[in-house]
């Protein structure tokens, strides 16, 4: 009998094909409630496939006695309680590195689209206004800007390399200075005050909730642009809307929101913001690479009893061997 994999997040055909050979896949969406799931499969589930948003309910995790691995399809894992998982002997994996380039590209895209007013300019042409009303107004430059990066891990540093190609001065705010180009700024408000563009790429979760607050937005200022490619929770969205409405802040490029997939009507009504539906890593190649890494982690567990890319908090944990009863 194959060990069981509880599938919480969507999978591609390629993932299903690889995983289906080794696991009996149990889609959470196809089960008739938690009690039925636990009664039918609970003690045979050895792994869970989820993502950083759907996570795994702590209550459900606690009722899976043979659970060994939670594989998240994404680099972020803020919806998974990694402390509770470790206490239960469960190792959490994620998909670092394979998405660095495209998430960084998307951050740059949002910055540029916002600065050059790409979306309103596109709408202007489509509406037939150009021949009648003439040229549109001038926009903010891209070249020679000061770019502040909030979170200076792998993706943040990739963003910095992209921005350097546009002769940007790079500042960064992180818990500690990194051995990487750019000026470390321990004070986020001071960094925002010096930045033309503030790009947020720090992990979500309680530690960074509303890190971008009213003071940071005011410091960034009326000519400033905020780009959030991290998690909606990192930005105080109500403060952001207020700052954009009264002109305290110049513009914003947002891929993530506090209550996805709901986006506040106030943001939708603004033409100085660019809004995308959490597409940072959503290219065919990157999503294929992420899916492959999820499968590699799960299959490595079955074949070798180890995982490839545990979350940093679990780098020293080894998943429990598959239970005798499974």
Query: Which residues of the shown chain bind ligand 8YV in the complex (CB under 6 A)?
Result: 9, 51-52, 73-76, 99, 278, 280-281
Q: Which residues, 6+ apart, have CB-to-CB distance to 290 below 8 Å? A: 73, 74, 95, 98, 99, 281
According to DSSP, the residues that pair with 212 across neighbouring strands are: 235
Burial of 39 (C-beta count, 10 Å sphere; 0-12/13-18/19+): exposed
CA angle 169, 286, 181 (to 5 degrees): 20
CB of 293 to ligand 8YV, least distance (A): 11
Q: Is 162 a catalytic residue?
A: no
Which residue number, 154 or 178, has a Cβ lying nearer to ligand 8YV? 154
Nearer to ligand 8YV, 74 or 250 (CB): 74
Catalytic residue chosen out of the listed positions 44, 94, 117, 231 = 231
Tell me if residue 231 is catalytic: yes
Of 164 and 308, nearer to ligand 8YV (C-beta) is: 308
Q: Minimal distance in Å, beta carbon 155 to ligand 8YV?
A: 9
Which phi and psi angles does 275 have, rounded to 5°?
A: -120, 130
> Which residues share a beta bridge with 7?
27, 49
Nearest to 194 by CA among 183, 202, 204: 183
Name beta bridge partners: 254: 228, 275
Active site residue 278: yes
Q: Please report how close the Cβ of residue 278 comes to ligand 8YV at its closest, in angstroms.
A: 5
Q: Whose Cβ is closer to ligand 8YV: residue 52's or residue 156's?
A: 52
Which candidate in 194, 209, 278, 320 is catalytic?
A: 278
Residues catalogued as catalytic: 231, 260, 278
């Amino acid at each position: 009998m194959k060990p069981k994999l509880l599938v919480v997040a969507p999978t591609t055909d390629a993932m299903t094909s690889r995983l289906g050979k080794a696991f009996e896949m149990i889609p959470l969406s196809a089960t008739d409630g938690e009690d039925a799931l636990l009664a039918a499969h609970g003690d045979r589930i050895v792994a869970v496939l989820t993502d950083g948003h759907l996570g795994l309910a702590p209550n459900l995790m606690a009722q899976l006695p043979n659970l060994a691995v939670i594989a998240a399809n994404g680099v972020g894992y803020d919806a998974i309680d990694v402390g509770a998982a470790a206490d239960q002997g469960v190792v959490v994996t994620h998909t670092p590195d394979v998405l660095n380039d495209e998430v960084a590209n998307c951050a740059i895209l949002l910055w540029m689209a916002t600065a050059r007013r790409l979306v309103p300019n596109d709408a202007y042409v489509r509406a037939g206004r150009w021949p009648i009303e003439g040229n549109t107004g001038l926009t903010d430059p891209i070249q020679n800007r000061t770019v502040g990066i909030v979170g200076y891990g792998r993706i943040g540093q990739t963003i910095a390399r992209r921005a350097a190609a546009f002769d940007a001065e790079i500042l960064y705010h992180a818990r500690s200075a990194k051995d990487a180009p750019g000026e470390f700024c321990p004070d986020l408000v001071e960094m925002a005050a010096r930045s033309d563009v503030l790009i947020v790429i720090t992990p979500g979760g309680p530690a960074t909730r509303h890190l971008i607050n009213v003071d940071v937005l005011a410091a960034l200022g009326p000519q400033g642009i905020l780009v959030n490619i991290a998690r909606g929770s990192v930005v105080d969205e109500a403060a952001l809307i207020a700052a954009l409405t009264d002109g305290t802040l110049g513009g914003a490029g947002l891929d993530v929101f506090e209550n996805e997939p709901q986006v506040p009507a106030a943001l939708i009504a603004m033409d100085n913001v660019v809004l995308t539906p959490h597409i940072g890593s959503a290219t065919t190649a990157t999503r294929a690479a992420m899916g492959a890494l999820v499968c590699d982690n799960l299959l490595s567990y079955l074949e070798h009893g180890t995982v490839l890319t545990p979350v940093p908090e679990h780098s020293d944990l080894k998943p429990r061997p598959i239970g005798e009863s499974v």
